[in-house]
Amino acid sequence: MTASPRSATVQRHTAETRIEVQLVLDGSGEARVHTGLGFLDHMLTALTRHARFDLVLTCEGDLEIDDHHTAEDCALALGQALREALGDRRGIRRFGHAYAPLDEALCRAVVDLSGRPWPAISLGFRREGLGDMATENLVHFLQSLAMAGQLNLHVDVLAGDNDHHRAEAAFKATALALRAAVARDGHDEVPSTKGVLA
């Protein structure tokens, strides 16, 4: 018996952003991303590739103001898509952890698809910006993703001198942890002693 595809389509339209998301959890790592922020596109492409999701995400945001609304709302829309694609979270592993290095940088990410959002993000950036993004908004992206996706997410950069490497290691480690957590475990149960993940 073939398992049904786990996917979601989300639209988020506000006075600040217009976002369209199509997410397939059991994908091949294909990303078609255009947020208007080159660095965010780079991070989302890495996240998609290493999580083995398929992602189409487009955003028209108020970049004439700054990058905050675009980063935050893309994370909220992607988190909502992740939440919807997981459904009741039946048959998943639930927990995932990973380390990802990039040259001198090393990051650890741990995720619990618990249904109870809690972001603990420590990336230790030294620069105020990377490309067209404020580094604080890369942290905020991961925080917002955890909140909207209803997941417990710990991301800690353990080493690194180059902030680009620190950021990329963080998104890759998060991707690998998500890949492990969303994987089907061969059982048809909600992985919780409560019988529900919400």
165-194: average pLDDT: 87
87-101: average pLDDT: 94
- The domains found in the chain, sorted by start residue, are 7-182 (3.30.230.40)
- For residue range 13-64, what is the model confidence (pLDDT) as tens digits? 999 999 999 999 999 999 999 999 999 999 999 999 999 999 999 999 999 9
C-alpha 182: how far from its chain's center? 12
Sign of CA dihedral 36, 159, 104, 98: negative
pLDDT band of 195, cuts 50, 70, 90: low
> Residue 189 above 90 pLDDT?
no
Helices (H), 87-157: 135-149
pLDDT band of 122, cuts 50, 70, 90: very high
Which is nearest to 31 in space by CA: 12, 50, 8? 50
> Residue 127 above 80 pLDDT?
yes
pLDDT of residue 118: 97
pLDDT band of 3, cuts 50, 70, 90: low
- For residue range 66-89, what is the model confidence (pLDDT) as tens digits? 999 999 999 999 999 999 999 989
Helices 135-149/68-86 angle, 10° precision:
30
Strands, sheet with 95-102, edge to edge from the N-terminal-most edge strand: 95-102, 105-112, 152-159, 118-122
> Cα–Cα distance between 10 and 166 in angstroms, integer?
30
pLDDT of residue 5: 81
Q: What are the distances in angstroms from CA 135 to CA 50, 55, 139?
A: 22, 23, 7
pLDDT of residue 96: 98
pLDDT band of 190, cuts 50, 70, 90: low
pTM: 0.94
Please answer whether residues 21 and 77 qualify as being in contact, where contact means their C-beta atoms are separated by less than 8 angstroms: yes
Q: What are phi and psi of 118, to 5 degrees?
A: -160, 105
Please answer whether residues 58 and 84 qualify as being in contact, where contact means their C-beta atoms are separated by less than 8 angstroms: no
pLDDT band of 185, cuts 50, 70, 90: confident
Which is nearest to 185 in space by CA: 98, 90, 76? 90
